[in-house]
Amino acid sequence: MNITRRRTRRVLIALVIVAGLLLMMWQGAQLARERALTDLHHTAGNALELSRANLTGYLTRHDYLPHLLATRESVRRFLARPEARRDGPALNRLLDSARAYADVSDVYLLDRSGTTIAASNWQRDDTFMGQNYAFRGYYRQAISGRSGRFHALGTQSGARGYYFSAPVWATGQAPDTPPDGVMVVKVGLDEIEREWRNLDATLLVSDINGIVFMASDPALRLSALQPLSESARRGLLATRRYTDEPLPASGLEILQSLPGGARLVRLGGRDYLNLSRPLARFNWSLHILEPLTPVVQAQWLGALGAGGGWMLIALGGAIGWQRRRLRRERERFAERERHTLAHARDELERHVTERTAELVDSNRQLSQEIDERRRAEESLRQTRDELVQAARLAVLGQLAASINHELNQPLGAIRAYADNARVLLQRDRRDDAAANLAQIAELVERMAAISAQLRQFSRKGGETLSDVSVQACFDYALRLFRARLEQADITVVSHMDESTCWVRADSVRLEQVLVNLIGNALQAMNDSAERQLMVAAEQGDEWVILSVADSGPGLSEEALEHLFEPFYTTRAAGKGLGLGLSISQRIVSDLGGRLEARNRAQGGALFVIHLPAAACSQPPETPADV
């Protein structure tokens, strides 16, 4: 009877242990799943916000172009006088040049009826010339006198694009006069989708009808997030927004709605975390699909950790129960020893000693297993932290391409110093070659400092300013152009205060501004008989004034008016993008100062930088010419 009770009790204990193990593993998996979903939600939200800002900036940077072209005198004259239509090839070439300069897909001009009368692709087989686009939304918006925006498939090329349009008045805008034509700019979308493919997640853009217009996965393009009704299909066919595409359902299945607007969805047999953000400016929605692989891995780790903890508790209980049983056995042995013969007592003590040794050995083995499990858990935690850090670095890696422009000039200087060092070594001028190699090492350190700005920005969300020597920044910038100054026989005239001028700035960004200004000055003096580069620094009570001047032809009235606008340049086509001065002005503004430009009375251009020396209030008046 006692044997049966003991067996029943042991079975119940085993069932309790197994049930507790399953419950703890399930609870641990649930807690790990919630935490992993929260982390994945945060990561996906950051990636979605970055992608939304990138897409908005990519599209809106071309918003100005149709308005700019619509005001061109050649375009107005082309619409105003039918006899000017013989200048069509010239206007076509002008539109093609604007297309290449702005890096857009197509630029074309519609007359009042919506027929294309000039186009950048006039020489291609799928040209827009002679095609009527009065059915397009961008034409109807612009012909009513306002700016137009529209996204659709091209009826000629079949390529997706985003269209900007602007009304054109041949004789000047009047409130009661309808436009004489419409200027249209088509922007391609392949470049932004290629950047999306570098992400681990899937990004897609849908319109108000739920049609996927853009996607990092080509298989999802021109599909519907939800099946379309017949009325919606007829409406889309009427506008020919997507021409005759079948627009099949994507197969997206919503599994669960989560707090914060997130959802768990299934697509193509895989489960994802889905977040969406509206793009109100374009009447779109941006979606991100993050795979749930990290969540599944976290669930397994949580279940294993909770199960291990429960087993430790069970092992601790078993040890306690074993010790209690041992103590009771010892008490029984002691009681029996008092009532038995000495031989039986000695025999009993021997058995007790043997059992105790076995228990001590068992306890030692259990302690070793506990230590091994603790080390394994610590290793798992470290591995998880490393995986989270690696994921963060992968997202930040997508931003590294934005500093490519800042590294071009140091790379060119490194190449020049390396070429000079090779020539000097051939001439056995080792000291001079060593000096060039030292310059290369310094440039590499500066490039590393430039790259570190992106890492610091992502970590703190801002730039840290410090005390920077103006003379040292000028010296560094002039060293970059030393070979070019000597080759072009340019004289450098320096007007610096005898004492060091200190400003509150970032040395790398300030040196970049000086390099841009000096490089523009050297470019301006290519055809000048007298070549002088003048640099100056003046210390004030609250401000430090820096200036760079040249002896070139100076700046025209038009250049002075548009000098700091993005993509404006006075150089020949293909010789520059017109971004240097725009970026320099933005850097100086971020440092708390301002950048100005004007012509010198003696001839040539003058650029003046005001930067705070300490706590400042209002910038001082512009100083006299250098």
pLDDT digits (tens, 9 = 90+) for 49-77: 888 888 888 888 888 889 988 888 888 88
pLDDT tens-digit series, residues 166-199: 999 988 766 578 898 999 999 988 888 888 888 8
Do residues 618 and 478 both lie within one domain?
yes
- Residue 594, C-beta contacts closer than 8 angstroms, at least 6 positions apart: 588, 609, 610, 619
Q: Worst-scoring range by mean pLDDT, 311-320, 334-343, 465-474, 566-575?
A: 566-575
Do residues 311 and 286 both lie within one domain?
no
Do residues 571 and 606 both lie within one domain?
yes
* Residue with tokens 């920044």, as numbered in its chain: 473
Do residues 492 and 578 both lie within one domain?
yes
Do residues 586 and 599 both lie within one domain?
yes
Alpha-carbon gap, residue 563 to 569, rounded angstroms: 7
In which band, very low, low, confident or very high, does the pLDDT at 385 lie, cut at 50, 70 and 90?
very low
The average pLDDT across 16-39 equals: 83
Q: Which of 83, 126, 131, 89 is nearest to 111 (CA)?
A: 131
Report residue 32 as tokens. 């790990």
Report residue 458 as tokens. 């992502």
Element spanning 186, H or E: strand 181-188
Do residues 145 and 183 both lie within one domain?
yes
- Judge whether residue 575 has pLDDT over 60: no
Q: Which residues make beta-bridge pairs with 547? A: 536, 608
Q: Worst-scoring range by mean pLDDT, 354-358, 399-403, 562-566?
A: 399-403
Q: Worst-scoring range by mean pLDDT, 116-130, 186-200, 436-450?
A: 436-450
Domain count, the chain: 4
In which band, very low, low, confident or very high, does the pLDDT at 392 lie, cut at 50, 70 and 90?
very low
Question: Does some domain include residue 428?
Answer: no
Q: How many CB atoms within 10 Å of residue 481?
A: 22
Most confident segment among 369-383, 402-416, 461-475, 592-606: 592-606
* Residue with tokens 């397009």, as numbered in its chain: 136
Three-state secondary-structure class, residue 386: helix
Domain boundary among 161, 188, 215: 188
Assess contact for 518 and 484: CB atoms under 8 A. Answer: no
* Residue with tokens 């249209």, as numbered in its chain: 184
Question: Does some domain include residue 442?
Answer: no
Q: CATH code at 196? A: 3.30.450.20
- Judge whether residue 221 has pLDDT over 80: yes
Do residues 503 and 602 both lie within one domain?
yes
Assess contact for 250 and 227: CB atoms under 8 A. Answer: no
CB-count exposure of residue 595 (10 Å: 0-12, 13-18, 19+): buried
Please give the backbone phi and psi of residue 497, each rounded to the nearest 5 degrees, phi first: -60, 145
Q: Which long-range contacts (CB under 8 A, 24 or more apart) does 454-460 make?
A: 454/396, 454/399, 454/400, 454/402, 454/403, 455/396, 458/396, 458/399
In the prediction, which pLDDT does 136 show? 86
Task: Provide, rounded to the nearest whole percent, the portion of the chain with pLDDT above 70.
Answer: 86
Do residues 37 and 93 both lie within one domain?
no
- Mean pLDDT (the chain, rounded): 81
Three-state secondary-structure class, residue 412: helix
- Judge whether residue 399 has pLDDT over 50: no
Domain boundary among 259, 291, 323: 291
116-119 and 543-550 beta bridge pairing:
unpaired
> Could you tell me the strand order of the sheet in which 543-550 lies?
491-496, 532-539, 543-550, 605-612, 594-599
In the prediction, which pLDDT does 546 show? 93
Question: Does some domain include residue 436?
Answer: no
605-612 and 543-550 beta bridge pairing:
antiparallel
Rounded to 5°, the CA angle 503-506-512 comes to 105
Q: CATH code at 579? A: 3.30.565.10
Assess contact for 572 and 517: CB atoms under 8 A. Answer: no
> CA distances (Å), 191 to each of 2, 54, 59, 102, in order?
81, 12, 11, 14
Alpha-carbon gap, residue 53 to 192, rounded angstroms: 12
- Residue 394, C-beta contacts closer than 8 angstroms, at least 6 positions apart: 200
In the prediction, which pLDDT does 451 show? 61
In the prediction, which pLDDT does 476 show? 85
In which band, very low, low, confident or very high, does the pLDDT at 378 lie, cut at 50, 70 and 90?
confident
Q: Which of 186, 175, 187 is nearest to 146 (CA)?
A: 175
Alpha-carbon gap, residue 534 to 188, rounded angstroms: 44
Question: Does some domain include residue 433?
Answer: no
Do residues 337 and 264 both lie within one domain?
no
In which band, very low, low, confident or very high, does the pLDDT at 450 lie, cut at 50, 70 and 90?
low
Alpha-carbon gap, residue 13 to 6, rounded angstroms: 10
Do residues 286 and 305 both lie within one domain?
no
- Judge whether residue 238 has pLDDT over 50: yes
In which band, very low, low, confident or very high, does the pLDDT at 596 lie, cut at 50, 70 and 90?
very high
> CA distances (Å), 515 to each of 73, 385, 530, 581, in order?
36, 41, 21, 11
Q: Worst-scoring range by mean pLDDT, 59-73, 221-235, 562-576?
A: 562-576
In the prediction, which pLDDT does 588 show? 92
Do residues 472 and 598 both lie within one domain?
yes
Question: Does some domain include residue 423?
Answer: no
The average pLDDT across 369-374 equals: 86
In which band, very low, low, confident or very high, does the pLDDT at 83 lie, cut at 50, 70 and 90?
low
Domain boundary among 235, 268, 291: 291
pLDDT tens-digit series, residues 278-297: 988 888 888 988 898 888 88
Question: Does some domain include residue 434?
Answer: no
Question: Does some domain include residue 103?
Answer: yes
Question: Does some domain include residue 15?
Answer: yes
Domain that holds residue 374: 2-59+295-397
The average pLDDT across 358-376 equals: 85
The average pLDDT across 450-467 equals: 54
Report residue 295 as tokens. 């969540």
Do residues 611 and 498 both lie within one domain?
yes
In which band, very low, low, confident or very high, does the pLDDT at 108 lie, cut at 50, 70 and 90?
very high
- Judge whether residue 384 has pLDDT over 60: no
- Judge whether residue 387 has pLDDT over 80: no
In the prediction, which pLDDT does 622 show? 45
Q: Worst-scoring range by mean pLDDT, 45-54, 85-94, 365-374, 384-393?
A: 384-393
* Residue with tokens 């040049």, as numbered in its chain: 97
Rounded to 5°, the CA angle 303-309-314 comes to 120
In the prediction, which pLDDT does 388 show? 33
